[in-house]
Each structure stands twice: as structure tokens, then as C-alpha cells.
Structure 1
Amino acid sequence: MDVKSLPDFRFFPYPVKHPSVESKELLPTDDPITLNTSSSWTYCGPLLTLESCNLPSSFNTWAEATISGSIMPSLFSFLAYVHDFLTKNNQSHYWLTIRASKGSDEFDTPRWHTDDLFFSPLQPPINHAKRQSLFSPITNILKSTWTGPTNQDLSTPISLSSPETEDHHHQPTTPAAQIPSTSPNPTNWKLTTTLLGPGTLFIPPRTNRLARATQQAAKAAARAADPNHVCVSVRCVGCAMATESVREQLARDLGGHGIVQASAGECVFFRVGEDDGAVHSEPRSHGDRVFVNVVPGHEADLKALMGKWGMEYPRAWCVGLPLVIGEGEECLRDVGVEI
């Protein structure tokens, strides 16, 4: 399947591939899967060998502390499909994250958004007059130079321009959080699935372009409210307040568009970036959920991304596991392995 021919997003079923009889630990079981805690495991490197004995040791550390039951049958079925999909599109490296989340009310209000681009084509250096944040992509809503509506109240609906007008005014820029790619055609898409719990919410294809325009207008209004804002920390209060304001605005404005979700045994291909990305949100989930996110990338680009955070490549690590250090005491640990 050539990604160039695919739309903004599409659901694909992936077959459940039963491993050999010798690998009994990978066979599907009737044991229920439950979570002990909320945490995540991440790997960045070449495509993994899909054998439990060859996975990075940090995966076993994470799985034993986080999950009761086994996600291996469904995880390996999904990754087998991912590897085939990536290979057919000349990709052999990825950033893989498995996120386990206990139920909460965090997404009772949808968080409609498009994912930020990780990589952008290499551009000549630009002398910016103002400082730009090098931290989390959450700050991107205050850094774009999109020249949409600038005098609208966030509490009122945002009117949208026609597609022709939108194309005329929209001048996309490269957020500072992106990594300049060594390729003229960096990856701008990902594959995801949910192994446990509800699937990600998507705005239906027929109105996804309109939803993107609504998102861009809401972000422009937030930027216009504080045009001189400059981030000075990773956790910027100003950016957080603007992000929450945009979230509430989009929850109102996109509430009538409807939603679609992948079913069990399906994964989602979708594009990222404000210009072509699929508008989506985490689902309401009051029970356990296991979500898998795959971002493909060229080896040099992923090395640069890891280097930005001071990490070697390839590498695997887990975040969010409690470490007991004494009676009544605990801290969080980051278990990392250079491979």
C-alpha cells in the first residue's frame, strides 16, 4: 500500500497471526487484561525482531509492572502488519510507544487536534527576530505565523473562510520543535491501534478539511490574544492556558461533525501536521486502555530526534513505573537501555 495514494486517514484490519506451537506464551488466551498502573514503554530504532526473547529488556520490566495478562498476541499481530506496511513504503526504522492508561475523566471533553510534524524538509537558515521555543510541541499554537482571524472572542463561534481564501492566507511555517530532515520527503504519517479499551476518535473524512480550518482559526485567535508571548520554560503556564482555551472552543465548534472509530483488530493510518493531518482526539475512557503509536522515520532523522533529548540511538525506555526505595517511600523511574 503506497502511502502517497492514501487519504488523510483510513482504517485497516490487521490479521491475527498465530505463532508456532513452540511459542505458546504468544498464543491468544482467555485471561482478561487489566492494568496495575498508568505508564508507557518506548523504543526508537530499527524494526524489532518479533520474538519475545529478543525484545529489549526494558519491555519485560515495563510489562511485568504495568499489565496483568499478556498483550503479546495482539501486539505482535499489529507489529507484523506495521513491519510489512513500512517495508512496502521503504521505511525500516520507527519510534514505537505503548501507552497504558488507567481510566479517568481527562478526556470527557474531547481534545481535538492534529499531531505535529516530527520532521520537515531541510530549509535554509532563517534569522528570526524573536526567540522561539525549543520545547514541547504544545507551544506551537503560539508560534505559527498563520494570518487568519485576529480579533475574535474565543467564547464565540469562529467563522471560516472558503477553501480558496484559506489557501491564500495560510502560510505554513516550520515549528521550532521539528527536526530538519535529511530527506526531501520526510515521513508525515503514522500508524496506531488500541489493544485494550476504546479507539481514538476521528472527525469523519467528509468534514476533516473543515475541521482543520476550524482548528487553525481557533489557534490563530489564541495567538492574537497574546501576540508577544515567548516561552521561557518547558511547562509554560501561558501556553497551557491557551491550549485549554482552544480545546474548549473546538469541543463546541466540532461537536456536530460526528465521529468515527476503529474497531477491535483495526489500525489507523493517518497523516500529521496542521495542513494535511487528520483531526482526532483521545476517547472518553473510564476503564483501562492500551494504545500503540508508531512514527516511522529515516534512520538519520530519528538519530537527530534522539540526540535532541540527549539520548543514544537505538534506545528503549519506560516511564511512569513506581520504584519502592523504602517503607512508605517511592519515586518514579526511567528504565532505559541502549541497544
Structure 2
Amino acid sequence: MAALPPGDFHFFPVPGAPINPPPIVLTRSTTWTYCGPLLTLGNDDDNNNNNKNNKNNDDATAAAAAATAAAKLPPTFAAWSAHTLAPGSAPLLPRLVPFLRATHVFLRRHGVHHYWLTLRASKPTHDFDTARWHTDDDFFEPPRGASSTSDDSSSSGSSSSSTRIRWKLCGTLQGPGTLFAAEAARPHACAVVRCAACGRRGEAVREEARAGLAGARVAQTASGGAEIAFFRLGEEEGAVHSEPPIDRDRVFVNVVPGTEADLRALMARWGMEFPRSWTLGVPVTILPHTGDGDDDDDAAAAGGESKTEEVLPSARHLEAAA
């Protein structure tokens, strides 16, 4: 198994990412989420995709790869795209497919075969004109007050604290990339502004963080799906980062890797199926469940149901991390 990158964050390029792609135009702010085994993209020879001398960057090949991937993705993806992309918009898949293939290469090299994947489409907003510096928490940490002994982990099916994955990936297919504070000290003991104490003084905590990071060197991921950010989680090692100012249509990709046991336990905690895909911000559509017990088929179907406004707050909690 390959060693993880050093430091609290690291950027790496996406082979085959389109150069100066035409703009994606959004109709609304929405999200599409999938939780399950790594998606099948079709003809997914990850080793070949990492060869810098390959000829897979021409438009015809990219279009063919996108069409193949579209047929393999959960049906909720097509419904989400139809409601999110404006008529005449550039397609999303020519950017998404290379990004996911590079993501899959990285995950497999580190022994990961399941993830929580979210695509967040955002219209321009002033919500992030001021940086909201924070670190992300450990998504698979037991709820506060719950026992985290190895016996409890075994009985619940989730990983022990020593084997949990404490890092994630992200990138931007269009629009400004996520901001990372390099060499930043953590100005507040709480990992994120979501605990009860911080909730009572949220803006004051953010201001304290901004003051503590004044003058810090800031790095930003490239747009266009050309770069992926690896970053660590938690209070001690977590990368300090923030959403950027969003002054144009943005499509952000959030990847939370996990073991099958951890992801199943997380979904079960909120009463949700595994594998599964769903949307937020688009009309509810109920699609047939085609899973037959085969992992590949179940991953393709992803549970079959599109739940939009009914998605539980817990799902929103995970999707909220930039």
C-alpha cells in the first residue's frame, strides 16, 4: 500500500483533464450524492490513464468516454444533471470522468474501495465572501458520549479508531478552488464550527480564526477538474481550509473515503440504504431499485431512489464540508 502524502494537504494533477473547456451553466444550486463502492466508469484502465504519453485527450475520445460513463452511473445522476445544467451548457462528464479516474487510482493505491461522493453545483453567492477557516472532523468518529472501544467497533461493524480513514479528497470542476492555509496554526480548539459551544458564538469563532490566520500563505486548488486536493481531518492534523468567494457558477467535488463497514454503519445510523444515491434541490423522482445482491449491479443502481428535500440533516452535515 502506498504511503500517504506528507503534510496536512497536498495537490496532485488529473491526467486527461480538458484544457480550457467551455463553460458549464447552472440553473440552480443543487447536490448529487452517492455512497457505495467506487463507481464503474467503463473501460476503466486506471494504469493506462496515468500514462503521460497516452492519446486520450482528444475531443472524440473524451466524448466517447463520457458517453460510456453516463451509461454506468446511477440513474439519479442523469436526473440531477437534467435539472441542474442549463440548455446549451457544456456537459459535465468530460471533466468529471478524468477526475473520478484519478481519484480511483489514488484510492486504490491506498487500499480504499468505497466512498461518499458529492457533486455540489452552486450559483454565485456572497455567503463566502469572507473566509470561513476550519478543519473537517472525523466523519466516522462515534457520536459524542458513545463508547469507542475495539469491542464496540467490532459489534457495530465499523472500524476501530486506529484503522479509520482520517483524510479526504476534493476538487473543482468549474469555478474557484478551495482555499488552504499553509503552515497555519489552529487558532481554536474545536475542529469545526458545528459543536454546541461554537454554535453559540459561531461568527466570533470565525473572526478569531481569521485573525489567527492573518498573513498566512494561502494555496488554492486549480479549477476545471485539473487538480485534486488531499487533506487530513481532525483537530490535531487537519488541514485548515475555507470555501472561496463564489462569484460565478461552481461545481465542487467532495470525496469522503471509507471502508464498506464504516460507510454502511454511517448510512444505517441515519436509516439510509447502502449503496445509495440521492439529490438535493431538484424535484423528487422515484426510480426502480435494480440491485440483485451483486455488488457491481448494486453500485450502478445505488439503491435506485432519488430523495431530494427529504434528505436527513445528517446527510447535509457531511455535504457541508468544503
Contact persistence 1:105–1:285 (CA under 8 A) = yes
Q: 1:189: which partner in 2?
A: 167
CA distance change for structure 1 residues 249 and 304 in 2, over 3 Å: closer, same or farther? same
CA distance change for structure 1 residues 126 and 96 in 2, over 3 Å: closer, same or farther? closer
CA distance change for structure 1 residues 36 and 245 in 2, over 3 Å: closer, same or farther? same
Residues 1-339 of structure 1 aligned to structure 2 (within 5 Å): 2-16=2-16, 31-50=22-41, 51-68=69-86, 69-120=90-141, 126=147, 181-182=159-160, 184-204=162-182, 207-208=183-184, 210=185, 212=186, 214-216=187-189, 219=190, 240-264=199-223, 265-322=226-283, 333-334=309-310
CA distance change for structure 1 residues 321 and 125 in 2, over 3 Å: closer, same or farther? closer
TM-superposed deviation, 1:276? 0.5
Secondary structure of the 1:43 match is: strand
CA distance change for structure 1 residues 248 and 45 in 2, over 3 Å: closer, same or farther? same
TM-superposed deviation, 1:334? 4.9
CA distance in structure 2 between the partners assigned to 1:101 and 1:316 by the alignment: 19
Once the two structures are superposed, what CA deviation does each residue of 1:242-267 show, in whole Å capped at 9, x if it has no partner?
Answer: 22221122122212213111223111
TM-superposed deviation, 1:118? 1.1
Contact persistence 2:124–2:247 (CA under 8 A) = yes
**Superposition TM-score, scaled by structure 2 size:** 0.69
TM-superposed deviation, 1:115? 0.3
Letter in 2 for 1:244: E
Contact persistence 1:201–1:261 (CA under 8 A) = yes
Letter in 2 for 1:192: C
* Structure number with higher strand proportion: 1
Percent identical residues:
47
Secondary structure of the 1:301 match is: helix
Secondary structure of the 2:33 match is: strand
CA distance change for structure 1 residues 64 and 29 in 2, over 3 Å: closer, same or farther? farther
CA distance in structure 1 between the partners assigned to 2:142 and 2:17 by the alignment: 37
Contact persistence 1:320–1:334 (CA under 8 A) = no
Once the two structures are superposed, what CA deviation does each residue of 1:220-257 show, in whole Å capped at 9, x if it has no partner?
Answer: 9x99xxxxxx96xxxxxx75342222112212221221
CA distance in structure 1 between the partners assigned to 2:20 and 2:241 by the alignment: 32
CA distance in structure 2 between the partners assigned to 1:60 and 1:13 by the alignment: 27
CA distance change for structure 1 residues 84 and 323 in 2, over 3 Å: closer, same or farther? closer
Bigger Rg over Cα? 1
Secondary structure of the 2:168 match is: strand
Contact persistence 2:132–2:242 (CA under 8 A) = yes
Once the two structures are superposed, what CA deviation does each residue of 1:98-156 show, in whole Å capped at 9, x if it has no partner?
Answer: 001111110111110000101249999659xxxxxxxxxxxxxxxxxxxxxxxxxxxxx
Letter in 1 for 2:128: F
CA distance in structure 2 between the partners assigned to 1:16 and 1:285 by the alignment: 26
Secondary structure of the 1:74 match is: helix
TM-superposed deviation, 1:180? 5.5
Secondary structure of the 1:35 match is: coil
Aligned residues: 249
Contact persistence 1:58–1:335 (CA under 8 A) = no
Letter in 2 for 1:185: T
Structure 2 portions without partners, runs of 5+: 42-68, 149-156, 286-307, 313-322
Letter in 2 for 1:74: R
**Superposition TM-score, scaled by structure 1 size:** 0.66
